[in-house]
Amino acid sequence: MTSTKPSPSPSLNHLSRRALPKLGIAGGIVSGVALGGWAGASRGLAQESTPGATPDVDLDLLLPATPAIEDDDEPTLEQTEGPYFTTNTPERTNLREEGVVGTNLTVAGFVVGLDGAPIPSTLIEFWQADGDGVYDNEGYRLRGHQLTDDEGRFILETVTPGLYPGRTRHIHVMVQAPGRDVLTTQLYLPDEPSNDEDNIFDESLRLEIQPEKLEDGSEVGLFTFVLDLS
């Protein structure tokens, strides 16, 4: 079995400008590259090296060779962006930096079309509260973007988001296949008592928690984003 890890794309000029008005942000030019995704993607790729950009975990060991998708799978449900989205996040798959509060959680999976075919080079932006339920609205703690690898896979090394008033534990996500509109949604943990009290919680957005933890004690939650590219 070969080891394939996500590799950052050198360019985002294949991404759609159509997403920009939807996100309410302006595009720009950095190093001669036209930026089509949300502005969060631009700055990270302009940085020469980003700690955590390369995952420590081998995706071949975490994920099946191909994504499992049912014939009747529907596109991943859209959910609200919430008030705490920030642009210009770093490109990275590991959000566990010094000072981040919380227990380790690793999220991994695929981005696929309705036909189950993986979608490489899909831009994914994650942002979330720390284990105490606190967002970093000044900097980029627990925020980052990445591109799916050649097999449409992603991995996020993070911590379990904490609770804050009115919400169950959740991770915010934007997903944009090359040249397509942005899907904005949220991911949830299964068996979370506060899920039932959350107004927008949806069962279809639960992570599939794996029976075994990683060596670092991290819980592993799998999720497949299904995009309607028609």
Where are any strands of DSSP class E within 41-90? none
133 binds Fe ion, rule: CB under 5 A: no
Which lies closer to Fe ion via its Cβ, residue 82 or residue 120?
82
Query: Which class for 223: exposed (0-12), middle (13-18), buried (19 or more C-beta within 10 A)?
Result: buried
Shortest spacing between CB 129 and Fe ion, in angstroms = 6
Dist. CA 97–CA 103, nearest whole Å: 12
Tell which one of 27, 52, 75, 82 touches Fe ion (CB under 5 A): 82
Under rule CB under 5 A, how many of the chain's residues touch Fe ion? Answer: 1
Smaller CB distance to Fe ion: residue 82 or 162?
A: 82
Nearer to Fe ion, 75 or 133 (CB): 133
Q: Taking contact as CB under 5 A, which single stretch among the options 65-73, 81-89, 175-183, 209-217 is the one that binds Fe ion?
A: 81-89
Cβ atoms of 227 and 173 closer than 8 Å: no
Considering the complex, what minimum distance in angstroms separates the CB of residue 168 from Fe ion?
10
How far apart (Å, rounded) are the C-alpha atoms in residues 191 and 101? 22
What residue number has its CB nearest to Fe ion?
Answer: 82
Are 187 and 195 in contact by the 8 Å Cβ rule? The answer is no
Give the single-character DSSP code of 46. H
Residues that bind Fe ion (CB under 5 A): 82
